[in-house]
Amino acid sequence: MSMKEDDFADWYLDIVEKANLCDKRYPIKGMNVWTPYGWKIMRQIDTYIRQEFDSTNHDEVCFPLLIPETEFAKEKDHIKGFDEEVYWVTHAGLNPLDVRLVVRPTSETAMYPMFSLWVRSHQDLPLKTYQIVNTFRYETKQTRPFIRVREIHFFESHTCHVSEEDAQCQVEEDVAILEKVAKAICLPYMLCIRTEWDKFPGAHYTVGIDTSMPNGRTLQMGSIHHYRTNFSVPYDITYEDENGEHKHVHQTTFGMSERLVGALIGVHGDDQGLVMPPGIAPFQCVLIPIFKKDNAAQVAEACLALMKVLTDAGIRVKLDDSDARPGAKYYEWEMKGVPLRLELGGRDLENGVVSFARRDTGEKGSIAIDSLVPGIRMLLDVISENMLAKAVEVQRSRIQDVDSVEDLPEDKILRLGWCGCEECGHKFEDTYGFKILGRPYRPEEFSGKCIICGKPVDKAAYAAHTM
């Protein structure tokens, strides 16, 4: 298997295949089959997303896959931004369609004609919805599982508000939700307000959600958008205020995709395979019987009893009682990144303990059987804290302040001065091959000069090579 630090691209593909996360042999490039283990990971992430949005009074919806071209074309910047990426349906059976249909690239143009029917009064606001669906984009670059695909497992929230200020409060709520979800899945991230030429088509502004990968590039895992009235005007989404005046709503969206799985692989994996955060691991621990012929029945019975205790306590556990040798089992579950390996043999039973090995550090030890549930819960919490702290520290170490275009480090996230003008931004990107990620969403102290024109600036910007 390729080594992570030596050849990240090949290592990544090896991990996806050997951990059996998806099958890329489906006969449409970039549309991969989710295998059971990979789908379990994605569903665990979806569970966290649902919990957070349900708890903040968002309602889950499910809109149709197909969008009429007449609706898709209403927001001109939006259709221009997607015109090279969409799939078109032109026939129903053998009959040409009068109006072509777009296969959903994202859902603004599907949802907002309905929002114009749902919203009538200020009492209908805020309208807070979300859905977890598949979206389709004709990705023309080299496809890569979870990172660049043509059928995308996608979360998106869509909200409507009485004012720009109320919509901004929603953006702040989205940032708070992101923090909770990212903590649960142990992922560090940066929030940058994208440049005008890189914001979402039709948005007032876009906040990109980026994490760093081992090859020095950043991966955008999602984004948050403030639309003002850029969509509500063409789609006529209005409400009657308390004075009887009709006004257009202000809108926001928040989207994340299966790239979260790609980020997990890259951020936490090692040369032995995946390293899964306990919060989203399909199995938080695997229980492996270690027995001899004279105690096989006793050990097997004890393993079944322990499995029931753990399952009843809400811990996701897998009992591997297959005929494979222990070493082969260790290899398989290490590759799949199970946070805790538990072993139970005759000597463990005599001593009243279960042996364990942590996937994140390799640390080994034992837990008393009569305190197994609290012991495992404590270990899983410690593993989560350790994984997040380590990932955050690694990401920080990849950020480097630069004040000159001389000898720009190719494998770093650059923190630099930029005056904000498009001319300087495009010159920097075109000349040096870095993408300006934007300015930090939370302002940072900074004093320097624009890296291109030399004009004094008091706001930082970030730039990186991107996946």
Kindly report, residue by residue over 188-222, the tens digit of the pLDDT.
Answer: 999 999 999 999 999 999 999 999 999 999 999 99
CATH architecture of 285-379: 3-Layer(aba) Sandwich (3.40)
Residue 160 CA to residue 117 CA, distance in Å, equals: 13
Q: Between the CA of residue 57 and those of 107, 167, 402, what are the distances in Å?
A: 20, 15, 43
Do 376 and 285 contact (CB within 8 A), yes or no? yes
pLDDT at 177: 98
191 strand-pairing partners? 209
pLDDT tens for each residue of 56-90: 999 999 999 999 999 998 877 777 778 789 999 99
Q: What share of the chain has pLDDT > 70, as a percent?
A: 100
Q: Is 98 exposed, middle or buried (0-12, 13-18, 19+ CB in 10 A)?
A: exposed
Residue 41 CA to residue 49 CA, distance in Å, equals: 13
pLDDT tens for each residue of 350-401: 999 999 999 999 999 999 999 999 999 999 999 999 999 999 999 999 999 9
Please give the CATH superfamily to which domain 8-268 belongs: Bira Bifunctional Protein; Domain 2 (3.30.930.10)
Q: What is the mean pLDDT of residues 286-308?
A: 93
Q: How confident is the model at residue 161 (pLDDT cuts 50, 70, 90)?
A: very high
Residue 290 CA to residue 341 CA, distance in Å, equals: 12
pLDDT at 441: 98
What is the DSSP code (8-state) at residue 466?
Answer: B
Instruction: Give the three-class secondary structure for 279.
Output: coil
Q: What is the mean pLDDT of residues 458-466?
A: 97
Question: Which residue spans of the chain are classified as CATH 3.40.50.800?
Answer: 285-379
The dihedrals phi and psi of 414, each to the nearest 5 degrees, come to: -90, 135
Do 49 and 181 contact (CB within 8 A), yes or no? yes
Residue 182 CA to residue 128 CA, distance in Å, equals: 21
Residue 172 CA to residue 189 CA, distance in Å, equals: 16
Encode burial over 239-253: b for 16+ CB neighbours within 10 A, e otherwise: beeeeeeeebbbbbb
List CB contacts of 16: < 8 A, sequence separation 6 or more. 22, 145, 146, 265
pLDDT at 351: 96
pLDDT at 6: 85
State the Cα angle at 200 between 198 and 202, rounded to 5°: 120
Closest CA to 231 of 349, 121, 321, 115: 115
Both structure tokens of 304 = 């079944």
368 strand-pairing partners? 353
Q: What is the mean pLDDT of residues 224-245?
A: 97
Q: Between the CA of residue 324 and those of 116, 130, 332, 360, what are the distances in Å?
A: 60, 44, 10, 24
Question: Which residue spans of the chain are classified as CATH 3.30.930.10?
Answer: 8-268
Both structure tokens of 357 = 């090995």
CATH architecture of 399-464: 2-Layer Sandwich (3.30)
Closest CA to 315 of 290, 336, 286, 352: 286
Residue 204 CA to residue 214 CA, distance in Å, equals: 32
Question: Which residue spans of the chain are classified as CATH 3.30.110.30?
Answer: 399-464
Encode burial over 109-129: b for 16+ CB neighbours within 10 A, e otherwise: bbbbbebbeebeebeebbbbb
pLDDT at 182: 96
Do 132 and 155 contact (CB within 8 A), yes or no? yes
Instruction: Give the three-class secondary structure for 420.
Output: coil
Name residue 353's amino acid. V
Residue 106 CA to residue 123 CA, distance in Å, equals: 27
What's the alpha-carbon Rg for the chain, to the nearest Å?
25
Residue 417 CA to residue 402 CA, distance in Å, equals: 8
Q: What is the mean pLDDT of residues 40-62?
A: 97
Q: What is the pTM of this model?
A: 0.95
List CB contacts of 320: < 8 A, sequence separation 6 or more. 286, 287, 288, 289, 329, 332, 333
pLDDT at 454: 96
Closest CA to 171 of 193, 141, 196, 149: 193
pLDDT at 331: 96
